[in-house]
Amino acid sequence: MNIKAMRNVHLYLGCFFAPLLFLFLVTGCWQTFDLHQASKKAGGYKPPEIVKSLSQVHMDQRWADNNLKPQPSVIFRYLVVLMSLGLLVTTVLGIVMAFKYTRPWIVWALLFLGVFIPFFLLWTARGYAQEASPTDEIVIKATDAVMFQITANMKLTQDQINEVRPIVTDNIVKVRNLQQSVEDGTIDSKTMYNQKLQLMNDEDRQLSQILTPDQMKVLSSLQQNQVI
């Protein structure tokens, strides 16, 4: 393939896939910082609906809007595969043309840096890794157990799950702190019981803003039967 043909292929593939590639670049950027997910803290950050919907396009190849959760588009997935192949082809053609129009050592140096720098940054981040404490693991397992019961008995949307989980986690942590206070002798059992009831009321109040009335009835039944 001569240089003119390579330029044309590079041009046409780039123009055709540019809009879709731009979508994946933008959504990929905010997903890198988890901006498509609600904060795990009660009353924390909530992503705009458009951010969540576009992230669903990126991750699940479907347009999700509020409670509408369609099946992933198989044809769209094949289009994404074609886009990936097109990006691969245009990248390879770009490197080939770089060798033809630029000093080879510059191209090799840039390719080396393009491989070395990402791996170096990932490797240096390993030094900041922290192991989860036993308490954290207990809270996570307790939250998973409660969420399993809730999702098994209610038809929650993914958005509801994302908003309910941090509330459940926050309540579990506060209850554990109360239990620790009793063990330390800071408060007595009666005080803990009263404060625990207050925590449950606060949790129900927060959940009532997320769950439907029917879902709240199911939740109340689970609490009364001590399932959660």
Closest CA to 206 of 166, 152, 175: 166
CB half-sphere exposure, 180, CA atoms < 13 A: 7
Q: What is the pLDDT of residue 163?
A: 87
> In degrees, to the nearest 5, what angle opens at C-alpha 154 toward C-alphas 149 and 160?
95
Q: What is the pLDDT of residue 72?
A: 85
**pLDDT digits (tens), the chain, 228 positions:** 777 888 888 889 889 999 999 999 999 999 999 888 877 665 678 888 899 889 989 988 888 776 667 788 999 999 999 999 999 999 999 999 899 888 999 999 999 999 999 999 988 887 665 555 556 788 889 999 999 989 888 888 888 888 899 999 999 999 988 888 888 888 888 888 889 889 988 999 999 988 999 899 999 888 888 767
Taking the C-alpha atoms of residue 200 and residue 207, their distance in angstroms, rounded to an integer, is: 10
Taking the C-alpha atoms of residue 92 and residue 89, their distance in angstroms, rounded to an integer, is: 5
Q: What is the pLDDT of residue 225?
A: 80
Query: What one-letter code names the amino acid at 201?
Result: N
Q: What is the pLDDT of residue 118?
A: 93
Long-range pairs, 177-184, Cβ under 8 A, ≥24 = none
CA torsion, ordered 87, 93, 96, 101, to nearest 10 deg: -110
Q: What is the pLDDT of residue 128?
A: 66
Tokens of 179: 């239990």
Q: What is the pLDDT of residue 9?
A: 87
Q: Domain map of the chain by residue range? A: 3-128, 134-224
Taking the C-alpha atoms of residue 215 and residue 207, their distance in angstroms, rounded to an integer, is: 10
The DSSP letter of residue 107 is H
- pLDDT tens-digit map of 85-142: 999 999 999 999 899 888 999 999 999 999 999 999 988 887 665 555 556 788 889 9
DSSP state letters, 131-181? PPPHHHHHHHHHHHHHHHHHHHHS---HHHHHHHHHHHHHHHHHHHHHHHH
Beta-ladder partners of 68? 65
Q: What is the pLDDT of residue 135?
A: 64
Taking the C-alpha atoms of residue 154 and residue 171, their distance in angstroms, rounded to an integer, is: 20
Q: What is the pLDDT of residue 168?
A: 92
Q: What is the pLDDT of residue 20?
A: 93
Q: What is the pLDDT of residue 40?
A: 63
Q: What is the pLDDT of residue 42?
A: 58
Q: What is the pLDDT of residue 84?
A: 93
pTM greater than 0.75 (yes/no): no
